[in-house]
Structure 1
Amino acid sequence: MFLKHPSSPLLLLLHLLLFLAAAAALARPSPPPNFLYLNVKPTKLELNHTHILPTLNFSDAHLQVTAQKFHNTTLKLNLLHRDKLPHVHAHRHAFNERIKRDAIRVATLIRRLSHAAAAAAQDNSYKVANFATDVVSGMEEGSGEFFVRVGVGSPPRSQYMVIDSGSDIVWVQCQPCTQCYQQSDPVFNPADSSSFAGVSCGSAVCDRLDNTDCHAGRCRYEVSYGDGSYTKGTLALETITMGQVMIRDVAIGCGHTNQGMFIGAAGLLGLGGGSMSFIGQLGGQTGGAFSYCLVSRDTGSTGTLEFGRGAMPVGATWISLIRNPRAPSFYYIGLAGVGVGGVRVPIPEETFQLSEYGTNGVVMDTGTAVTRLPTAAYEAFRDAFTAQTNNLPRAGGVSIFDTCFDLNGFESIRVPTVSFYFSDGPVLTLPAKNFLIPVNGAGTFCLAFAPSPSGLSIIGNIQQEGIQISIDGANGFVGFGPNVC
C-alpha cells in the first residue's frame, strides 16, 4: 500500500509539525515517577518498582572506536562485598566500622583535591598535575567494600583484591612479609612466579612514582598516610590472569610492609583514570572501557566487573565524563541537581560544578559508601524528602545520618522517589533501597545521604548498587543501565 504525498502546503506543514512533535517526545527523557513502594523487612529493603531510568541512545559516532585487542573480547569478573569474603565475618559493629571507613575515605579525597587546588593557585598555567600525587594504596580510604578474584603471577595464584575507582596503582602483599595484615588467601610469594620481574631504578615506570628510592638496583615505593596506614615494597612487572586471559607486564606494587584496613583482601586493583591504574596500563587494548555492577551485600548474588569494548551496553543512558587535570584519577560527572518525588529541589547548579582550580565538582566513587552533597545542598534535599515523609514515624539520628525512621512492624511503605538530574539532560531515578537503608536489626532505616565537609560531592556505592555503570574513557562518557543487576 502506498500513500500519496500531501499536495496541500497546509497539510504538508501539519505532517511536519506532527513528525517534529513525535521526534521531540522520543528524544526527551521521561520524567521520574513520584513515589516508590518498599517491602520493609528486619534487615533489608526490597524494591517492587521496576522503573530505573530513561533510555538515551547515542549516535554510532559516539560508539565507534578503533578496533583493538579487546574489541570483541570482554574480561568478566565477579564482584563480592567485603562481608562475603571467606574467613571475614560481619559482626554487630560492622555498620559503625563501615561508616568510620567512609569518613576516612571522604576526608582523604578532600585532602588530595585540596593539595591539588593549592598547587593550582600557585600555578595559573593549569598544567596537568604530577602523576605522583595520584599514586595511592587506597589503605587510608578504607575502601575495601567490593572485591574481585584475580590470578597473580605464573602460575597464577588466586587473590581477592579491592576494586577502587579512585586509585592509580595495583598492589598486593608479598613475601617475605615484614609486616602484613590478615588476608583470606596465602600471601603472594614472588619466588614462586616465573613472570615476576623487578623494575630497575632508572626505568620510566619508577620515575612516575612518588616516595621512591633504590635498593640493589631495584625500584622501591612507599605510600604512607597520617592515620598510620601505609604500603611499602618493590615495584615489579607481573602477569595478571582474569578468567582465561593473561595480561603480561602489569606494573604492580609488591608490598612487604603494609598496615591498614584491608582485612581480607590481598591488595588493591586501581581502576582510576590515571595511566598507572589497571585501566591506564591496558590502554588501547580496552580503549579505557570497563563496566561494573555493585550488588548489595544483602543479596545472595555477586556483582560483575567487565573490561573491553564489549562491556559497553547498548541502550544505556550516557552522560559526559568530566576530566579534572588536577585529579586525573577521579571520574567526574556533570550533576545539575537532585529531585524528590519527581520535583527538582531548588539548588543552584553552580553548587555541583568543578571550580577553576579543580575543587568541588561531583565524583563517582566505588570506595565511598554514602553519597555526600555540599551542606547547603544536602539540607535542601533532606528537607524536601522529610516534607514528603512526615507520615512516617521518625527515629533518632544514627552515626552520620540525621534523617531516620522507625519502620519496625511495617510491611510496606510509600516513599517519594529520589533522582539525579544530569547536566546532559537525563534523569536517574534510584531504586528505593539505594537511598533508604537499614542501620540495625530493629527496623531503623536512614536516608543514605550526608553533608560534605567541603564543596566536593561524591556519588557513593550505596547509590550505585544494582545499576550497571560503564566508563567509556576513550570517548569520554559514563553510562547507566539499561539493566538492573
Structure 2
Amino acid sequence: MAVGLGSNSTSTPMLMTELAVDTGSSFTWIQSFPCDSCYSQGNFPYYNHTASKSFNYVYCGDEICETLHGDVYPGCRALRGSLEEFSCSYRMRYLDQSSSSGIVGTETFYFPKQRPILDEYMPLDGVPFGVGVSNNIPDNLVGFAPGMAGLLREGTLLNKLGVKRFSHCFPRFEDDIGIIGFGEEANITGVKLALNQESTNYEAPLTNVFVAGEQILVAEEGLPVDMVFDTGTSWSVLSSPLMDAFMAAINRTSLRKFRPQRLNGKSEFCYKTTDLLTIDLDKVAKVTFQFRYTANIDLFSFHIWTRVDEFLCLAFMRGEQGENVFGSDLMRHMNIGYTLDIDDFAMYFSHEHCWI
C-alpha cells in the first residue's frame, strides 16, 4: 500500500513509499538507511530517520516497547538497569523466512485518500514502527515492497487509525496497483465469513475442499481444521494430511494422464507447462474452499498454480499438523473486507477487478 513517511514540513510527507499489507502480524517496519543488510527495493527511496523532523526514538522503558506483541521479540527483555537509556529494538521472522530487525521509533505516516480526491493525505502522528537496518527476503521475492504494514487485529497501526473496518484488493498481475481502504473507504461486500473470536489471527474453520466437484474431507481428529488468512506470505500452507488429500484429488481429475513431478525446494507437485498447453485448469480442476459449511470461496487456476521455470506448480507448501495458511496469492483479483467489531468479527470476499 502507498504511504508517506516522515516530514520536512508540517503538511507534506518526506517521502512516498510502499508497504506490503500484512494481516498476519501486528508490527509495521520499513527498510532504513544506512543499512547493515538490505534487499533491493527498486526505485523507491530509502527512509532515513535522521532526516525526519517528526521521528522520535522509543526506549526500553517506554510503554510502547513494553507492549509490543510477542512475535516482535523486543530486544530489551534481557537488559538490566535503567531501561530508559537503551533504544527499544525488534526482530521479526516470517513464515517464508523473511526477516527484519532494527530499532523502534514513532513517526508521522501519511495515508493517501482514495476518494473523492487523489493526492490528498491524511497524516497520523506518533505511529510506532520498526527502523529496519537488517532485512532479508527469499530470492523469489524480487521487487518486494520496502517494508510491511502490520494489520493484525489489535495491532498498533489499526489502533492508531482508530478504525474497525478495512479492505484490500490485490490485482491479478503484480505490475498493477491494488486498492486499500480504511474506515468509511473500506469496501465490505460479498460472501461473509465469521471469524474465530478467541484467536488473535484472522482465522476460521475450513470444513471442506472441492476439487472438480469432488469433496475432500479436511477434518483432523474429527474436527475441521483452522485456517489463518495471512497476506504477509504469498504461498499458502496446508497441513500434511490435507496436502496429500488435495494432491490426490487433483490426480484423479483428467490431469491423471500427466505425471506430476517434485522439484527441489518447496514445489512438490508440478507439471511441465508444455503438457498443459491445451488444458483449461479452471474446468478440469476447479477448486473451492468451504468455511463453516456455508461460506464458499472459489479459486481459479491463477490462484493455485504458479510458474517455476518450465513447470506449473501447485502454490502450496506442506505444513505441520494443524498448520494451514490462506496466503496472498489466493487473494488476488479479489476484494476482501474486514469488520472488527465484537458483534461482527468477519471477512467478506468478492471477486473483483483490483486496480485504480
| TM-score w.r.t. length of structure 1 | 0.59
Q: 2:51 aligns with which of 161, 177, 192?
A: 192
Q: 1:232 aligns with which of 102, 127, 131?
A: 102
Q: 2:146 aligns with which of 237, 262, 266?
A: 266
Q: 1:294 aligns with which of 163, 166, 170?
A: 170
Asked if residue 249 in structure 1 is aligned to residue 126 in structure 2, the reply is: yes
Q: 1:304 aligns with which of 179, 182, 198?
A: 179
Aligned pairs for 1:265-344 within 5 A = 265-276=145-156, 278-282=157-161, 285-287=162-164, 289-297=165-173, 300-314=175-189, 316-325=190-199, 328=200, 330-344=201-215
Higher strand share: 2
Contact 1:468 1:482 in 2 (8 A): yes
Paired residue for 2:303?
Answer: 434
Asked if residue 173 in structure 1 is aligned to residue 35 in structure 2, the reply is: no
Paired residue for 2:269?
Answer: 403
Counterpart amino acid of residue 245 in structure 1: M
Paired residue for 2:348?
Answer: 479
Contact 2:214 2:249 in 1 (8 A): no
Distance 1:368-1:324 versus aligned 2 partners, 3 A rule: farther
Asked if residue 211 in structure 1 is aligned to residue 75 in structure 2, the reply is: yes
Contact 2:206 2:218 in 1 (8 A): no
Contact 2:188 2:338 in 1 (8 A): no
Question: Partners in 2 of 1:247 and 1:150 — Cα distance?
Answer: 11
Contact 2:262 2:269 in 1 (8 A): yes
Distance 1:310-1:232 versus aligned 2 partners, 3 A rule: closer
Contact 2:166 2:186 in 1 (8 A): yes
Distance 1:424-1:281 versus aligned 2 partners, 3 A rule: farther
Unpaired runs of at least 5, structure 2: 69-73, 113-120
Give the stretch that moved more between structures: 236-245 or 189-198: 189-198
Question: Partners in 1 of 2:175 and 2:40 — Cα distance?
Answer: 25
Once the two structures are TM-superposed, the CA of residue 261 in structure 1 deviates from its matched residue by 1.9
Paired residue for 1:33?
Answer: none
SS across alignment from 1:322? coil
Contact 2:61 2:83 in 1 (8 A): no
Asked if residue 152 in structure 1 is aligned to residue 18 in structure 2, the reply is: no
Contact 1:273 1:279 in 2 (8 A): yes
Number of positions where the alignment pairs a residue of Structure 1 with one of Structure 2: 319
Percent identical pairs in the alignment equals: 24
Counterpart amino acid of residue 267 in structure 1: G
Unpaired runs of at least 5, structure 1: 1-147, 354-359
Aligned pairs for 1:378-417 within 5 A = 378-390=243-255, 392-399=257-264, 400-408=266-274, 410-413=277-280, 414-417=283-286
Larger Rg: 1
Distance 1:396-1:219 versus aligned 2 partners, 3 A rule: same
Question: Partners in 2 of 1:211 and 1:352 — Cα distance?
Answer: 39
Root-mean-square deviation over aligned CA pairs:
2.9
Once the two structures are TM-superposed, the CA of residue 200 in structure 1 deviates from its matched residue by 4.6
| TM-score w.r.t. length of structure 2 | 0.78
Question: Partners in 2 of 1:224 and 1:305 — Cα distance?
Answer: 24
Q: Which has the higher contact order (CA 8 A, sep 6+)?
A: 1
